[in-house]
Structure formats: C-alpha cells, structure tokens
Amino acid sequence: MLQLTKKWFSTALVMLMSMQLMAQNSIVGKVISQEDNSPLVGASVVIQSIQKGSATDIDGNYRINKVETGDFEIKVSYIGYKQMVKKITVEGQDIQLNFELEKDIQLTDEVMVSATRADEKTPTTFTNIKKAELNRQNLGQDMPMLLNYTPSMVTTSDAGAGVGYTGMRIRGSDGTRINVTVNGIPINDSESHGTFWVNMPDLASSVDNIQIQRGVGTSTNGAAAFGASVNMQTSTPAQDAFGEVNNSFGSFNTRRHNVIFNSGITNSGWSFEGRLSSIHSDGYIDRASSDMQSYFLSGAYYGDKTIVKALAFGGKEQTYQSWWGTPEARIENDEEGMQEVIINNGYTDEQAENLLNSGRTFNYYLYDNETDNYQQDHYQLHLSHQFTENLQANAALHYTYGRGYYEQFRNDDDLTDYQLNDIEIGNETISSSDLIRRRWLDNHFYGFTYSFNYQKADWDITLGGAYNEYDGDHFGEIVWARFAGNSEIRDRYYDNYGRKYDFNNFLKANYQLNEKLNLFADLQIRNINYLTKGIDADLAQINTGGEYTFFNPKTGFTYSLPNNSQFYASVAIANREPVRNDFVDAPQGIIPQHESLYDYELGYKKQARNYSTEVIVYYMDYDNQLVLTGELNDVGSSIRTNVDNSYRAGIELIGAYKFNQQWSLGGNATFSQNKIANFTEVIYDYGEAFDEFNVIENEYSNTDISFSPNIIAAGEITYQPLRGVKFTFLNKYVGKQYLDNTSNDDRALDPYFVSDFVGSYQFSLPFLKTAELKLMINNVFNEMYSANGYTFGYNAGTYEVRENYLYPQAGTNYLLGLNLRF
C-alpha cells in the first residue's frame, strides 16, 4: 500500500509539474507595418486550432499565455493589411514571434478622409492622434479636453470641469478659425464658424483617429482653416465582433455611461456599429450642470473595390448657462471691487448677495431654468470605389438638422424691447416687466463632397471639393411675463433668417522628382454667397451679407535626409469671409472686409528606433484680420474691425523618447510672438451724469493679439511596470494671455501650470475579452487658475470703469472609469 501511495504521489507530482510547465509557455511579439515600421494597434493574433489569441497594444505588442507544447499556426490580421500565417513549435519555453504586415490594396475607411488629409509627403505641419491616445483620458470630458496635450493647444471650459461648453485655441486662433470635419464633412456652424462640442457629447468614443493640421494646412471643406483644422475619422470595423460597456464617475457628480457594439466585418462584407451615451455633470461653477445624451449608428458594405457606408450620429443637451463669467474682484476676494461691480451693473439685492457670498464658483444666473437646450443630428452616406489600381473615387451626401433655444429670465426689461405696448392699469402706466424669453435656432445644413485620387509612378493627384447649403432661422419668444400686455403665445418679437451657399474645388498633386525630393501643389477655388434678413434680437432691421470668390493656393516640398529624417517647406494662402455678427453688427452701410492669411512653414522631422523629434518654424501673416477694438454700434453691440497688419510667428518643438519597455517621455513646446502692428482702442465717455457721449481713441503699436500666449508647453511621463498596467503623468504650461489687444497687464489671464495623472489597469475575466479600470486625477496640485475671460470698459467723466470677467477652472478633481468588453 505504501509503494502504491508513493507511485500515485509521484505520478501526480509529475503531472502537476507538467501542467505548470505548460502554463508557463507564452508567445510574445510585435506587429508592425511593413511600409513604415509603425506599430499596428489592435491587430488580431490568433492560434487557430485552439482559438486562443490576443490583440496588440498601443506599441503593437501582443502576448498569448498558457500555450501547451505542440505545433501551431498563428494568424495575424489587421484591417487594410494582408493576413499573415506563421507555423511555430512550442517546446516548453517562451517564443518571440514578430510580424510585418503588408498593406492590402483593398479599400478601407481611410479613403473617406484621404482627400483632405496630409501624409508624410505633404509639406505641412500636422499631428495624428490614434484611438488609443484618445481612449487614455476618455472618461466623459469633451473632445477639446482630450486634445489638450497636443502641440500649441489651449483649452477652455465654461463650467470649469471639462464637460458642457468647452473650446480650443490652436496657435492662439479661436474655434471660429479652426476648420472641423467628420469624415470630410464640415461641422463648423455656417454663420458663426464655431464648433459647439456640447452638441456632440461622447463623440470621442466613436472616433478612430484625428489629424490636426496647424496653420492653413491642405485644402478642406467648409469654413476656412485660419489657424488650424481638426479632421476626424469615425470608427472602423473591429477585427472581431464585440460589445462594450463603459461607466465612469467623478467629482461634481460627473458620470458617463455608454454601450457600444461592433459586428466586425462579416463573411459577406457587412459591418455594423452602434453607441448610446449619457453624460451628466453638476459642473464646478455654481449651477453649471450639463445633461447630455448622444448616439452613433453606422452600417457599411465592404467589397473588394467598393465601400458603401451610412452613418447617423447626434446629441441632445440641456446645459445651465455659465456664459457670464466670474468678476475678477470676486475671484480675488476684493470687497471694494465687488461693490463697484454691484453699483456699475445695477445688481438687485438678490444678485448682490449672490456675488458677495458665492466664492470663485460664482454664477451670475439664478433663475432655475436658465438653460441652453439644443439637439443636433448628422446623417452621412459615403461611397468609395476603386476603378483601377491607380484610380479611386469618393462621394458623400450629408444632412445636419439642428434646433433648440436658450431660456433666460429678464429682470424689469422695457416692453418696447419686445415690440409690446405700455400697459395701462388704473392710473398707472407700466412700461417694463419681469419676463422669461427663449431665443431659438432652427437650421438645416446639407450638401455633397467628392474626390478622385490618381496614383501612378511618381504622381499622386487628388481632385476634390464640395457644395453645401445652409438655411437657418433665428427667432425669439416670450414664454412668461409678469405684465403681458398685447402679447400672444408663440408671438415672435424678432425673426430673421440666414442663407448660405458654399462651393469649393481643389486640385492637389505630389510629384516625386527624385529619390529625395517631393514637390507639392494645392490649388483651391472657393465661392461663398451669404444673406441674412429680417428683424434682429435688438429689433433692428437687417438685410446684409456678401458674395466672395477666393483663390487659395499652397505649394511646397519635402526633402528626405539620411537616417529616416525629413525637411519640408511650404507657403499657403487662405481667405476667410466675415462671420454673421460682423455683418449684422457693422454700422449702417459698412460691410467688413474679408481676411487673408499668408502662412510660411518650415519643418524638420526625424524618427528613430526609440525616439522622434520635430522642429517647426512658422510665420502667419494676416491682412485685414478682424479684431475687437471696444467700438460699439448704435444699439450697444461690439464691433470687430479690420486691422491692416498682424502676424503670428513661432517655433514648435516636439519630441518623444522611449528609455525601455517601462519608461517613456514625450512633450512639446511652442514659443511665439503674436502681434498687431497698429491698434486703435475705442473707449466711450458718457459723462459724470451719463448725459454725454464722447469717443476716446487710444493708439497702440506692436501690441499682443488677445488670447495668444507666448509660451505653450506640454509634457508627459509614462511608466508601465507590468503588462496591462500604465501610469501617465501629464503637465501643461500656458503663458500670460491678454484679454484685449492693448497688452495691458491689468487685463490679462495669469500664466498657469497644471498637472494631471492617468492610471489604467487592464485585466481579463473568464466571460470577458478585456476589462480596464481607469483613474484620472485632474489638476493634481490644486492650481487655482482661469483659462478664459473677457473685459470691457468705459468712462463716466473722470470715473473709469474697467471690469474683467474670468472662467475659473476646477481644483483637484477625479474621474474613475470601468470598461468591459465582451
């Protein structure tokens, strides 16, 4: 019996050791593109016979654990590349197995954006952001926050927590000068030229990649790229079907929930994807809450030579207004300054108490439904076809429907401002009333885009363009009044419309002159016809607009240098029509001139095995740039005025270094000067009794352009101690920003340095493909700073009023998220 027990024990021990040895067998490696050695993120690596596999990470690495000994075939696939199969023998030890995949000539989703994008042969300045980089911080904040650490970027948040109304500036250019497209379709509002990210909540969860071009860039569709362009491509089919649930929670009652499904590409060539999202945040600023819902649906057919893809995405938001900003006196806890604000602005007792007791999170608005309510739906239909090996074509139809209003309580407004008669009650004449108004937008934007691309030998030629129409209504209603007078429900106290027709054609060509030198040319003709007519919100009659035809040429070259480096140079010209307010608010009989930009870019790039570096020198020379001067029209609206000569000049430094598999470092810095040669500030003197009207003009030379810091820098350190565990420490510095164009330090945003931390842990569970836990700590060191603001002033005899209003950002706050993929 003892011998039998020993025998069984020995046998069990051997089997246990064998199992342990089998469990230790791992296959590890990297999947890269044969074309440029770049890592392929999300490639599928599968041992076919046992259906065990892995997906590559952001560096292209994969690992398959617990592989038994034996002979196997490993298949690697990645959309847009040819599949590769390798045979291996596992003999009780780890195996290193790398793959270099060859591009497939079969069409991919990239063709939808290729006409408006730059590549390595294009002599322009750009940065590509992959989905993995977006996902790193994607816990519900708006798109500008996710792009905050890209070069020359400054982001803003009205509510202070990155959710709701947010914006971006690139090289000092605001959102109305940044062209935004999704799959080549214009997103900028046709009249204001702005992009309202609040109308597209959680869009980042359905974006595959983004290209940001700084400067004029290449020809694109929609609003002129007068400082930068942001070109987004939506999600592409997954390697394998999956379902995904994302939940995140954090400070200020912020929460994001979404569900995603992706069918992958079926054997018959079909692919489907969908997303539903809900985001809420109370905001850092008092009452600055946001409630947003969004969706994304796509269905596509992928043939050998044809892609047909339909998309629908949109969002609905209700955001409590925090547009007013916080008086600088309130932020600095200046009691005397706050009393001046109360007196100068005629605050009621309730408003005064709110200001004095609220702290830096002050919100001027107190009415419980002081909200912005808007819904925007986008529909796109894309067709791509490969006619021959050298010729492919793309076409798209699109339609965007936006509608909504913002609601405001108004204290003791004059009835005549709403086309209402005075009210006689007994012997009393009532000429003003408390009321609630809604200001509406109802607009339609539709059109088509197209492109043909021809590649043969040393030529790469693209012919493209778009035709778009905009039809937008602006009107106002009173929904309640303490004294209603002669008003009827749904009466419109103002009503006007805007119509815009935008047509452009462009021809781009790359010619490889020799092994090292590539020549580039890009010619665009753009025609715009805009008309706005009716009664404006200030009851002024408007009938204005303009027709413009612009020629926007670009040319340059790239020159290949030894050791995988490159030099490029380009000259680009862009022209831009005035925005709606420039037409509407201009003094009677005056039509503002269009703006022109001459952009000169020099760049050097080098890509090595463990580091990369870029140096860009730029000079952006403006003619007739439109800027605020302090001048008002006859109803008190601010007027932008053309200034003759202004420029932005700077150097951008970008670099990354990978020390080893655990540690990496990256960063960028922009050093610039942003100047107006001659600037005239307008100040009005209303006299001590406010019974006079005098115009004071102050002349300035070589002043700084507002909101254009001389230094913008960002850096990050990443540490990966274990597979699936990653820690990233991010830092951002933004230099002083002037609130107007006078270079006066008393009207400026202080420089700020902010640090964020992101930690993530990927793990697996038996019933899941992957699971990931993410923690983001924003503003780790609790920096008290403001990222945006405005200023105004006037004289009352010898009494001068200057008021700054700032948008404070939240101190230390966090977001915690859990991602589950099935």
CA–CA separation, 819 vs 244, rounded Å?
7
149 vs 75, residue with greater confidence: 149
Q: Provide, rounded to the nearest whole percent, the portion of the chain with pLDDT above 70.
A: 96
Q: What tokens were used for 174?
A: 């605001």
Residue 204 and residue 251 share a domain:
no
Residue 560 and residue 471 share a domain:
yes
8 Å CB contact between 417 and 432:
no
CA–CA separation, 261 vs 241, rounded Å?
8
CA–CA separation, 595 vs 604, rounded Å?
29
- Give 601-624 pLDDT, tens digit per residue: 999 999 988 999 999 999 999 999
Q: Please, which residues have CB within 8 angstroms of residue 457's CB and are 6 or more apart in sequence?
A: none
Residue 797, CA atoms < 13 Å, CB-side half-sphere: 5
Residue 145 and residue 274 share a domain:
no
- Residue 42's domain spans which residues? 22-101
Residue 550 and residue 418 share a domain:
yes
Alpha-carbon distances, residue 676 vs 27, 80, 641, 708, 739 (angstroms): 61, 48, 13, 12, 14
**CA dihedral of residues 156, 159, 161, 162 (deg, nearest 10):** -50
CATH number of the domain residue 226 falls in: 2.170.130.10
Domain count along the chain: 3
CA–CA separation, 511 vs 183, rounded Å?
26
Strand partners, 774: 760, 817
CA–CA separation, 575 vs 406, rounded Å?
32
Domain boundary residue, one of 207, 234, 261: 234
CA–CA separation, 756 vs 148, rounded Å?
11
Q: What is the pLDDT of residue 24?
A: 54
Residue 54 and residue 138 share a domain:
no
Q: Please, which residues have CB within 8 angstroms of residue 150's CB and are 6 or more apart in sequence?
A: 127, 129, 212, 668, 714
CA–CA separation, 282 vs 615, rounded Å?
41
**Would 723 be classed as within a structural domain?**
yes
Which range (9-18, 175-184, 768-777) has the least confidence? Answer: 9-18
**Would 5 be classed as within a structural domain?**
no
Residue 571 and residue 477 share a domain:
yes
DSSP string, 362-407: --S--STT-EEEEEEEEEEEEEEEE-SSSEEEEEEEEEEEEEEEEE
Per-residue burial over 294-330, b if 16 or more Cβ lie within 10 Å, else e, is bbbbbebebeeeebebebbbbbbbbbbbbbbbbbbbb
- In 103-253 the beta strands, taken as DSSP E runs, fall at 125-130, 153-157, 166-170, 178-182, 185-186, 207-214, 228-234, 242-250
CATH number of the domain residue 77 falls in: 2.60.40.10
771: nearest Cα among 277, 273, 244 = 244
**Would 334 be classed as within a structural domain?**
no
**Would 335 be classed as within a structural domain?**
no
Average pLDDT value for the chain: 92
CA–CA separation, 64 vs 88, rounded Å?
13
**Would 221 be classed as within a structural domain?**
yes
Q: What is the pLDDT of residue 129?
A: 95
- In 482-610 the beta strands, taken as DSSP E runs, fall at 492-512, 517-535, 541-561, 565-576, 595-607
Which helix (H) or strand (E) is 685 found in, with range? strand 663-685
Residue 648 and residue 536 share a domain:
yes
pTM, to two decimals: 0.89
Residue 151 and residue 291 share a domain:
no
**Would 6 be classed as within a structural domain?**
no
CA–CA separation, 69 vs 201, rounded Å?
49
84 vs 635, residue with greater confidence: 84
Alpha-carbon distances, residue 669 vs 614, 654, 702, 753 (angstroms): 11, 7, 24, 13
**Would 572 be classed as within a structural domain?**
yes
CA–CA separation, 191 vs 470, rounded Å?
9
CA 349 to chain centre: 40
With cut-offs at 50, 70 and 90, classify the pLDDT of residue 15. very low
- Give 503-550 pLDDT, tens digit per residue: 999 999 999 999 999 999 999 999 999 999 999 999 999 999 999 999
DSSP 215: S
**Would 492 be classed as within a structural domain?**
yes
What SS3 state is found at 800?
strand
3-state secondary structure 804-817: EEEEECCCCEEEEE
Which range (107-121, 290-304, 449-463) has the least confidence? Answer: 107-121
DSSP string, 315-354: EEEEEE---S-EEHHHHTT-HHHHHHHHHHTT--HHHHHH
User: pLDDT at residue 690 above 90?
Assistant: no
- Give 136-194 pLDDT, tens digit per residue: 999 999 999 999 999 999 999 999 999 999 999 999 999 999 999 999 999 999 999 99
With cut-offs at 50, 70 and 90, classify the pLDDT of residue 61. confident
8 Å CB contact between 144 and 155:
yes
Q: How many other CB atoms are there within 10 angstroms of residue 181's CB atom?
A: 25
Domain boundary residue, one of 186, 203, 234: 234
Residue 137 and residue 43 share a domain:
no
Alpha-carbon distances, residue 799 vs 321, 327, 339, 686, 794 (angstroms): 32, 19, 15, 10, 9
Strand partners, 670: 652, 712
Q: How many other CB atoms are there within 10 angstroms of residue 82's CB atom?
A: 14
Q: What is the pLDDT of residue 51?
A: 67
Residue 31 and residue 144 share a domain:
no
Q: What tokens were used for 760?
A: 């993530």
CA–CA separation, 134 vs 205, rounded Å?
8
User: pLDDT at residue 569 above 90?
Assistant: yes
Domain boundary residue, one of 234, 257, 273: 234
Residue 633 and residue 719 share a domain:
yes
Q: Please, which residues have CB within 8 angstroms of residue 612's CB and are 6 or more apart in sequence?
A: 605, 606, 654, 655, 656
Backbone angles phi, psi at 403, to 5 degrees: -155, 145
8 Å CB contact between 166 and 158:
yes
Q: What is the pLDDT of residue 231?
A: 97
With cut-offs at 50, 70 and 90, classify the pLDDT of residue 8. very low
- Give 327-375 pLDDT, tens digit per residue: 999 999 999 999 999 999 999 999 999 999 999 999 999 999 999 999 9
Residue 730 and residue 811 share a domain:
yes
- Give 233-245 pLDDT, tens digit per residue: 999 888 789 999 9
Average pLDDT (670-697) is: 93
Q: What is the pLDDT of residue 106?
A: 59
8 Å CB contact between 320 and 292:
no
Q: What is the pLDDT of residue 95?
A: 86
